[in-house]
Structure 1
Amino acid sequence: MREDLDLPDLPDPTVLIKLHGTFMVIAWILCSSVGGAVARYFKKTWVTQQYFGGDAWFLYHRMYMFFTWLLTCSGFIIIFIDMDGWQDNAHAVLGVTTFVLCFLQPILGAASPPGHTRQIARILHIVSGNVSYYLAVANMFLAVGLKSANLPEALYGWLAGGLALHLIAHAAFNVLDYMSRKRAASQPILDPTKDASYSRWRKVTLMAQMIGLLAFTIVIVVLIWRT
């Protein structure tokens, strides 16, 4: 009997788990971080640009958050197809909580009830978005420790790097926002057709954030698929 007989490659039994991780990393490390930054710091940037009857920042925000929502929902469905029943661990609990908050985000964002209720819906949208981001990132750290995921410990460092870059970018945006408001306060007349001060630096910071997070995302996804 020939010992060198070629045998067909067996399908990877962890492919759905890897897809789940890939979708979540792209959704939260990249898309959610950039989409949240655009909504928070760029409302007075691209002021002369309109798309579909709305401001440019709103379109960019919706694009990134749509992919966050779509990838999160897809990853949530995929992992339930792969797993046999409920997994009683912290990762599963945080995952369901994050999914619920993410699923409700478009509803809260689109809600426009009358009176003070509209402001409450807006606050809930902002708070829910920030909470879901940090829950999602924390859940990725928990996923690395799962035996069933079989992920390398090096992912702890790369996830921490992505989170650190997110926080550094927000710190830079806040400094620029403070400088912009300080300059605006010294100018009695503002031209509504011009971007706020330091908008060019905000764009540079956003581009650096996008490139950096994309690099972290690629490395993390590669490590997921190499296991």
Structure 2
Amino acid sequence: MFVSSRHLFFFSVTVRGTTSSDRFKGILLVAKGQSSQNILGSWSSIDSSVYVVFCDGTSSNGITQASSTTKSQIQATWTSPSTTAQENIVISYQQSCEVPMARHRLGNDHVFVCQRLNDDTIQLQRFINPGGYSSPTIVTTDSNYGGTLTVTRVALNNGVAYCEFTLSNFTTTMGRRRKRSISLLSQSTQYRILVATGHLAGSNALVQHSSIAVLTQKIQLDQSGTIATTNIEGSDDDKAMFLRAHGIIMLFIWILFVPTGILIARYFKQSWPTRKLCGKQMWFAVHRSVMIFAAIMTLIAFAAILKYNQGTWVSQNESREFAHSIIGMLVISAAIIQPMMALFRCHPDHQYRFIFNYVHAIVGIGALILSIIAIFLATLFSLSDTSINKPWRIVVAWESTEFAILIGFECLEIFYRKKWSPFCVKNRDKPVQMNVLHNGSDATPVDDRSSPENILKERLKTFLLAIHILVAFGLSLTLAYCTWQAS
């Protein structure tokens, strides 16, 4: 589709295969001048499967894929530069090795990495990408991938890392060439340079880069040349902060705070009967405070992801991301509905109070289950490729621990009601003083907290709650670290 607005031209570009069954992974779109070969115009897209990139230090003048999942099509809009004098604009395309559409994937590249380590040491290493989005494999001295790498200079001056090297001895044999999936570097071939900038893990290991740039000029390895780049993270890194904030907030809220509030409401109603906070029973005051905080932070996290996606919806082509977004909206809806229901609940002694109790519990437990599914899906995103292998295992470990703690609480209640021997003392038949709770809760009979069996029960419940908090905090912190790295 072509639209003209005075001296600006807008082109809607759709890339897809020749048939509906054709799918691809990698894509790179740029617009160039016919004579100067300079990159022209800017790109925009509401398709979440792609994002704009920096080319030659200018923002938004290229389009590439956002993940390694296969796609049937992508859509983007190209806007011509306002300074373009020509009235005729021609768009042509062809399939070439520069954009590997024939393989339906990126990869099989030669990589030279200039690293600034934790101790400010500069290190230059050579890698290969064995295919797709696989982790780079270091090239050893006895490997022959075209040319011998010789490091001539590495330095760090005024915060700028310098890496200089030469490639020599480009002698290869045809027999070796046929055995390799990656083409050997050649002195007679011109190459286009892709520059990626990112962070190192705490162990100086490579993690997924956060920004990329495509250099317009080509280089030939039998000629000297300089590749100079500034830190191209810039606004992309600022934008990624919203993604990090969304993930980290949701992790702590729905792994630590919400389950804690549920456990307190479920198992601690008869605890601390004589203690009050702000005129309310202790369990109710803690439960209400935790859940209100959780609802507010959930809405803040939702605002952060809206800002990151600029208010656009996730493409259905990204199945995991799309499912995550739908489930996430249900969780956010529950976070809004719960405090609204609590605000208009009837008195604890009202005949229809049981309706609120059941609905409140069902919505709360349902939201927690949906949040677990959403978190699990998030660990399967392509952006979740971090130095920690398979972060979904952390979610499984947390779910298993929570299930065991829940079983422990239920067994404790059952054993207490069945008068299991540790909770049955000799004076069990002695009349027990009963109290009634009204403030902020249903009218609940509460037995004397000073009896030995109750003391043991309360200590065990406190122990289980402490285990839950420690495990949930530790695993939330680990997943938050993964989120910070991945995004």
2:480 alignment partner, one of 199, 208, 221: 221
Deviates most, 211-220 or 12-21? 12-21
- TM-superposed deviation, 1:102: 1.3
Q: CA deviation at 1:10?
A: 2.8
Give the distance between the partners of 2:376 and 2:482, measured in 1 at CA: 14
Alignment of 1:72-111 (within 5 A): 72-84=298-310, 85-87=312-314, 88=316, 89-111=322-344
- Superposition RMSD on alpha carbons, in Å? 2.4
2:243 is aligned with 1:17: yes
What's the CA shift string for 1:183-204, capped at 9, x where partnerless?
Answer: 3896463234426450111011
State the SS of the aligned residue for 1:14.
Answer: helix
Q: Name the counterpart of 1:47.
A: 273
SS at match of 1:136: helix
Distance 1:82 1:203 in 2: 40
How far apart, in 1, do the equivalents of 2:305 and 2:414 lie? 43
User: C-alpha separation between the residues in 1 aligned to 2:344 and 2:413?
Assistant: 27
More helix by share: 1
Corresponding position of 1:143: 378
Is the 1:18–1:225 Cα contact (8 Å) retained in structure 2? yes
Per-residue displacement from partner, 1:157-184 (whole Å, max 9, x unpaired)? Answer: 0111111111111111111111222338
Give the Å deviation of 1:145.
2.3
Q: Aligned partner of 2:355: which letter?
A: I
Aligned residue in 2 for 1:194: 449
Match in the other structure for 2:398: 162
Q: 1:58 to 1:187 in 2, by over 3 A?
A: farther
d(CA) in 2 for partners of 1:190 and 1:109?
Answer: 33
Q: Deviations over 1:12-51 (max 9, x none)?
A: 1422111111010001000011110000000111112111
**1:36 maps to amino acid:** I
Q: Residue 391 of structure 2 aligns to a residue in which SS?
A: helix
- AA of the residue aligned to 2:331: T
Structure 1 residue matching 2:346: 3-state secondary structure = coil
| Cross-structure match for 1:204 | 463
Structure of higher CA gyration radius: 2
Select between 116-125 and 158-167 the one with higher mean Cα deviation.
Answer: 116-125
Residue of structure 1 in register with 2:81 after alignment: none
Match of 1:127 among 356, 359, 362: 362
Q: d(CA) in 1 for partners of 2:477 and 2:313?
A: 30
The residue type equivalent to 1:98 in the other structure is V
Cα distance in 2 for residues equivalent to 1:163 and 1:64: 20
Partner of 2:101: none
One-letter amino acid of the counterpart of residue 432, structure 2 = L
Equivalent residue number for residue 30 of structure 1: 256
- Contact kept? 2:384, 2:391, Cα under 8 Å: no
Report the Cα offset of residue 121 of structure 1.
1.5
- Residue 81 of structure 1 deviates from its aligned partner by 1.2
Task: Report deviation, 1:110.
Answer: 3.2
TM-score using structure 1 length: 0.89
Distance in 2, Cα, partners of 1:67 & 1:151: 31
Q: Distance in 2 between matches of 1:180 and 1:43?
A: 15
Cα deviation for residue 105 of structure 1 reads: 0.9
Please say if residues 380 and 392 of structure 2, whose CA atoms lie closer than 8 Å, have aligned partners that are also in contact.
no
Higher strand share: 2
Residue aligning to 1:112: 345
Corresponding residue number in structure 1 for 2:140: none
Q: Which has the higher contact order (CA 8 A, sep 6+)?
A: 1
Give, in whole Å, the separation in 2 of the partners of 1:56 and 1:47.
8
User: Which shows bigger deviation, 177-186 or 166-175?
Assistant: 177-186
| 1:6 Cα deviation from its structure 2 partner | 9.1
